[in-house]
Amino acid sequence: MPRHTVATSLSAKLLVLTILFVLLAEVLIYTPSIARFRMSYLEERLAAAHIAALSVEAAPDLMVTKELQAKLLAYTGTHVIDLIQPGARVYMLSRPMPPQVDAVYDLRTTGMGMQIIDAGHALRLALEGAFGPPRNRVIRVIDRSPNDPVQRVEVTMDERPLIDAMVEFSRRILAVSVAISLIAAILVYLTLHALLVRPMRRLTAEVVAFRRDPDGAPPLVPGARADEIGVAERELAAMQGTVRAALRQRERLATLGTAVAKINHDLRGILSTASLLSERLTESADPEVRRVTPRLVASLDRAVELCGQTLSFTRDGVLPLSPASTDLHRVADEAGAEVLATVHPDGGRVEAEWINDIPAGTLAPVDAAQLGRALVNLGRNAVQAGAGRVRIAVEAGPAGSLTLTAADDGPGLAPRARENLFQPFAGSARAGGIGLGLAIAREVLRAHGGELRLVRSDAAGTVFALDIPQGNTETDPVDVAGHKSFVSH
């Protein structure tokens, strides 16, 4: 099992992602918070300015001394204070030479969106000041008095103290955000590590150990969890049991197949010798011997064919192919000649018609011998089941592929054959068969990257489709002019 590093572990990724998501949440919270802080700062200045302006009302002749006026303006951090009361009565405090105003902010008409924009502009000035001399603007702020909404307060003040206060507030928010992020990340990390990461590592270790040694790895003991992890543990344990049983069965079958292959090799030689010797019986003077000799020869031929099919099917590995540009019409001709030479169990030759509707010159990149073998298996199954005519045709498929069709007029497949179609030793379509013909034919098509499909099978006959990918038709596959028909009698 590969060793997990801090950078590649799921726990570290969870920790980093949790910190990033919490910081993102803090940023989303910080944006309205800094705007609200700026508004609160300005409202505090306006409230203090209102109280300072009321000192004018208590002064003789509504005039305060310059010393008191300077103290009041310094206390409120302003240059000019205007208090406009109902009836247009104005109380004003001002420095002797107030500075020129750079910007005016009327808080009475400022919504949250504009407050965020104004706060962002102030922070931009703070950022510029961090890389150069501090920038300061003189701003005029207008709003209803926080102490008495019927009165309006206007103040002229430096923006720099506000910017410094916003920077300090941002630092506190950043420190709190980092602390919250770390605490939340650690808690989430520990929780997810206990609930997800550690069980996932256990499952991963079980999978790796099972892959390395399916038989020697200890079986997984699933826990009592009812969530997805518990389901995965139980399914993995069940899958391990199924795979172990399948591997044991496969091992037994492989051993049996090796033994059968060796026996079949010797048996095929013995049967071939017996077949050659039995042909001499046709020269016997005994009429009864001459009568039963064809059946004996046919039985020996079937036994030799059975041995050959079994040896071919038990061959290990992928079916070897030698694909080349091949004339499918010629392949079908050769397959038809071999099918029509088939002998019935009673020794009689089949009586059938092989119709080749593939236009001459129809080319495809296939292994001629293997594809012909598949057509022979399909044709023999048909004629031995009682078909009187087998038709081979071709049609264009998607993306330049080809589809061969093998149609016969036989009685159709038996229910048992349909249920076990393509299953070796179980899907025979005729009495006395072993069910290897269709299995081998499908293996040939799959080795080419295609597929063998049953299109239909009823009382009118059976149709199989042989899909051949990446075909190259040099002639129109729909044109059946010039097809060749073989008839066996």
Alpha-carbon dihedral angle through residues 61, 65, 66, 71, given to the nearest 10 degrees = -120
Rounded Cα distance, 207 and 377, in Å: 42
Decide if 147 contacts 50 (C-beta within 8 A): yes
Note the pLDDT of residue 482: 41
Decide if 343 contacts 447 (C-beta within 8 A): no
Contacts of residue 179, Cβ cutoff 8 Å, sequence gap at least 6: none
Question: Looking at the chain, which residues constitute the CATH 1.10.287 domain(s)?
Answer: 240-316
Splitting the chain (489 residues) into consecutive groups of 10 residues, what average pLDDT does each group show?
56 75 79 90 90 77 78 89 78 84 89 87 80 81 86 90 90 83 78 79 82 78 77 82 80 69 66 67 69 66 62 57 90 90 66 92 90 90 88 85 92 80 62 66 89 91 90 40 46
Note the pLDDT of residue 357: 94
Note the pLDDT of residue 3: 52
Fold of the domain built from segment(s) 240-316? Helix Hairpins (1.10.287)
**Which one, of 333, 315, 336, 331, lies nearest residue 436 by Cα?**
315
**Which one, of 138, 123, 131, 48, lies nearest residue 93 by Cα?**
48
Fold of the domain built from segment(s) 319-487? Heat Shock Protein 90 (3.30.565)
Note the pLDDT of residue 156: 92
Question: Looking at the chain, which residues constitute the CATH 3.30.565.10 domain(s)?
Answer: 319-487
The count of other CB atoms within 10 Å of the CB of residue 167 is 17
Copy the structure tokens of residue 452: 């063998």
Note the pLDDT of residue 30: 82
DSSP per-residue letters across 418-442? HHTTT-TTT--SSTT--S-HHHHHH
**Which one, of 370, 273, 246, lies nearest residue 315 by Cα?**
370
